[in-house]
Amino acid sequence: MAKDRAQVDYTGPLRRLVLAVLVLVLAGIFLLWRIDSPRVERFRAQVTDTIVPNMDWAMAPITGTINLARDFQSYRRIAEQNTELRRELRQMQAWKEAALQLEQENARLLDLNNVRLDPRLTYITGVVLADSGSPFRQSVLLNVGARDGIVEGWATMDGIGLVGRISGVAQNTARVILATDASSRIPAIIQPSGQKTIVAGDNSAAPPLDFLENRELVRPGDRVVTSGDGGVFPAGLLIGQVAADPGGRLRVRLAADYERLEFLRVLRHYGNEPVSDTNDVLQPAALLAPEVSE
């Protein structure tokens, strides 16, 4: 117990001694830094040059914390910019899609305007609203009808070739039977051989050629145009080109783009005026009138 009492007696004075020394050192440093003397100033400078560079380890946590805060602020700004850029990118993608659709529609309209037709034919352009969606009936619906003067039987074309004919007319819409439909029969002529034929739809993308007069005169790649026989279709409308299937049967590779029917041109065609009096054709009635003598 005596030893424990001695240890307790030395602990208190030792603490007070250390505290007194620390106070004296701090007071000496304070006075040293307050003395205005060139010699003391040089001493202070030497102490600063000696101690401060070796205190980088003590400033490292503070410097790291400051850099971490700056990096966090920079990351937050980058995240905000990234979010804004993503939003603008989505808007640009929507605009791009709209621009592509407008470009395609413009190309279709330009194709329609580039088709060379008989100057006696007039036309009206309609937008394709829907198709039949059936493998047994090939047809589309247009947004023009009786109010626009549409008549059943008129031919329709896309930007390149014949598409079909009007088969039903309502007040505001019209149904178009495509040339690929099984009920479609189009009188045609093959150029340059001049062979007449029938383009018979069979619900396939390449309808066959029926009733050829001389098959030997027809070659793949020959042009197929409407002949005008029957008065349903005007003469000279491009249908497509002759092609041979694997079985050797001649078919028509249609010129119209049936995969992308967006606009159709409806041709106003009232048919050819029938001849009722052949005498008027052979010799005008004015020449048959007797001359009046004076």
Distance from the Cα of residue 236 to its chain's centroid: 34
**Nearest alpha-carbon partner for 204 in 177, 223, 179:** 179
* pLDDT of the residue at 292: 45
Q: In this predicted model, what pLDDT tens digit does every residue of 20-48 receive, in sequence order? A: 888 888 887 777 666 666 766 777 677 66
109: phi > 0 → left, psi -120 to 50 → alpha, else beta; which? alpha
Low-confidence residues in the chain, pLDDT < 50: 1, 6-7, 275, 278, 281-282, 284-288, 291-294
SS3 197: strand
One-letter-per-residue 3-state SS of 120-178 = CCEEEEEEEEEECCECCECEEEECCCHHHCCCCCCEEECCCCEEEEEEEECCCCEEEEE
pLDDT at position 201 is 92
pTM of the model: 0.55
> Which pair of structure tokens corresponds to residue 239?
């249908």
pLDDT value of residue 111: 61
Locate 91 and state its tokens. 């808007």
Write a three-state SS string for 63-120: HHHHHHHHHHHHHHHHHHHHHHHHHHHHHHHHHHHHHHHHHHHHHHHHHHHHCCCCCC
User: Which residues are CB-neighbours of 36 under 8 A, at least 6 positions away?
Assistant: none
Give per-residue pLDDT as tens, 215-250.
Answer: 889 999 899 999 988 888 888 889 999 999 888 899
**pLDDT for position 275:** 47
Which is nearest to 221 in space by CA: 192, 195, 201, 256?
A: 192
For residue 236, give every residue at least 6 positions away whose Cβ sits within 8 Å of its Cβ, in sequence order, or none: 118, 225, 226, 228
Structure tokens at 151: 């008549």
Q: What is the pLDDT of residue 133?
A: 60
Describe the strand order of the beta sheet including 195-200 as a list of residue ranges: 209-210, 195-200, 185-191, 223-226, 238-244, 250-254
